[in-house]
Amino acid sequence: MRKYLMTQKKGQKKDLLPGGTLLALILILLGSSPAWAHKVYVFAWVEKGTVYTESSFGDQPVHGGAIEVVDRDNQVVLQGKTDDRGKFNFPVPVAVNSDLLIKLDATMGHQARWTVTLSELMAEGDEARQQLDEAMTKKETLEAKPSMAAVATGIAVIFLICGLASLIHKKRKKHNG
């Protein structure tokens, strides 16, 4: 391999940016990316006596994901599957007396949970509207895509860690003679 690498090295410019090629690849891949996704979440809100749930991988709905609704005592209240738009709705159970935990199993280790509080389930009139507004704000936060700032922060942190490791190693080497 060495020999091959040596022959490859001949006749090539040495001043190529080490990360340039991979960085270009990353940018191309990001540019062609159809969506930003991979977190899994289930979100639920209550409106006019119905609990609406929405399950998603960011901006792609979870098709046919298993939904299980349990009460405070971990008793299964009902089960179902999300539709093509990642939705699954059910009427507020008549005998509800605790918060409801909604569990999503989107297969392959993708799971998520969301709690609908008893006050949300019981709210009426203005209070219900206020609860709904709060729920929608939470939904927007959940749906937020990873920003370029987050990506840049991650890459910067990786380079910082590697730089520090390299620096510590050099100091140790110097210290040990």
Partner 1 sequence: MHISEGVVSGPVMMAGAALAFAGTAVGLKKIDYERMVHVAILSSAFFVASLIHVNLGPSSVHLILNGIVGLLLGWAAFPAILTALLLQAILFQYGGITALGVNTVIMALPAVICYYLVGPLPGRGPRYTFVAAFLAGAGSVGLAALGLGSALYFTEKNFLEVSMLVMTANLPVMIIEGIVTGFCVTFLLKVYPEIFPRRGPEK
Burial of 4 (0-12, 13-18, 19+ CB in 10 A): exposed
CA–CA distance, 23 with 165 (Å, rounded to integer)? 22
Looking at beta carbons only, is 53 or 131 nearer to partner 1? 53
In the shown chain, the binding pattern of residues 39 to 58 toward partner 1, with x for contact by CB under 8 A and - for none, equals xx----------------x-
CA–CA distance, 145 with 59 (Å, rounded to integer)? 8
CB 45 within 8 A of CB 80: no
User: What's 129's DSSP letter?
Assistant: H
65 lies in the site for partner 1, by CB under 8 A: yes
Q: Which of 15, 29, 140, 175 binds partner 1 (CB under 8 A)?
A: 29
148 lies in the site for partner 1, by CB under 8 A: no
1 lies in the site for partner 1, by CB under 8 A: yes
Cβ 148 to partner 1, closest distance in Å?
11
Cβ 94 to partner 1, closest distance in Å?
30
Q: Furthest-apart CA pair in the chain: how many Å?
A: 79
Cβ 23 to partner 1, closest distance in Å?
8
Cβ 62 to partner 1, closest distance in Å?
6
107 lies in the site for partner 1, by CB under 8 A: yes
Residue 40 φ/ψ, nearest 5 degrees: -120, 130
What is the per-residue burial (b if ≥16 Cβ within 10 Å, else e) of 75-104? Answer: eebeeeebeeebebebebeeeeeeebbbbb
Binding footprint of partner 1 on the chain (CB under 8 A) = 1-2, 4-5, 8-9, 12, 16, 18-19, 21-23, 25-26, 29-30, 32-33, 35-40, 57, 60, 62-65, 106-113, 146, 150-151, 153-155, 157-159, 161-163, 165-166, 169-170
